[in-house]
Amino acid sequence: DAGVIQSPRHEVTEMGQEVTLRCKPISGHDYLFWYRQTMMRGLELLIYFNNNVPIDDSGMPEDRFSAKMPNASFSTLKIQPSEPRDSAVYFCASSLRGPNYEQYFGPGTRLTVT
Amino acid sequence: SQQGEEDPQALSIQEGENATMNCSYKTSINNLQWYRQNSGRGLVHLILIRSNEREKHSGRLRVTLDTSKKSSSLLITASRAADTASYFCAKAQGGSEKLVFGKGTKLTVNP
């Protein structure tokens, strides 16, 4: 069974450009999470969905960030406009049992904003 | 603020030795989990220990939980070069619907 799939794996963009990150969770997992990982701040939860509905977006840094989950097998995280401080690795994860239980992570998207 | 702080930040051992990593936390938890992250990869779930459990095993992994000290330990026995990775603890805090990850322990196992 395929794990969590993320694309692209690497993204390099210039400041001010729009960036869209994509995620396909494990089939049957009703919970989907977006995390950001940096050396300074570690792994931070940005937002999570349950049954395609955003439940907690308190970690979204600012209005430049938005996330959608139009169906059970696809989610996007969009940054518009991007800034150099957005450079990080963005992970998508999914869970069968809920936000307090085992989470399965994708390989991540390494974003570099110049 | 970051909860689930791991100690040490980095650990270097020889193959065959045991590796012990510690995790402390500040508030009550429902469970505590350990994850592994190989360089350039996503996190992989290793083990979950509930607040009413004291010890759990999975292969060469042994996790203990001491709720009175608000701490947990991950022991990897007979380490292998393939165990080289960063290890994170994540806490499911009481009343919270999300995991809080520490900054991890970077383990290097030298062949």
Contacts B35 to A, Cβ<8 Å: 105
pLDDT band at B2 (very low <50, low <70, confident <90, very high): very low
* Residue B86 CA, distance from chain mean position: 9
Contacts A43 to B, Cβ<8 Å: 43, 88, 101
pLDDT digits (tens, 9 = 90+) for B18-40: 999 999 999 999 999 999 999 99
- Other C-beta atoms within 10 Å of A39: how many? 7
pLDDT digits (tens, 9 = 90+) for B53-95: 999 999 999 999 999 999 999 999 999 999 999 999 999 987 7
Return averaged pLDDT per consecutive 10 residues of chain A, 114 residues in all. Answer: 93 98 97 96 96 95 95 97 97 96 97 98
pLDDT digits (tens, 9 = 90+) for A49-71: 999 999 999 999 889 999 999 99
* Cα B12 from Cα B19, distance rounded (Å): 9
A100 and chain B in contact, CB less than 8 A = yes
B56 and chain A in contact, CB less than 8 A = no
B39 and chain A in contact, CB less than 8 A = no
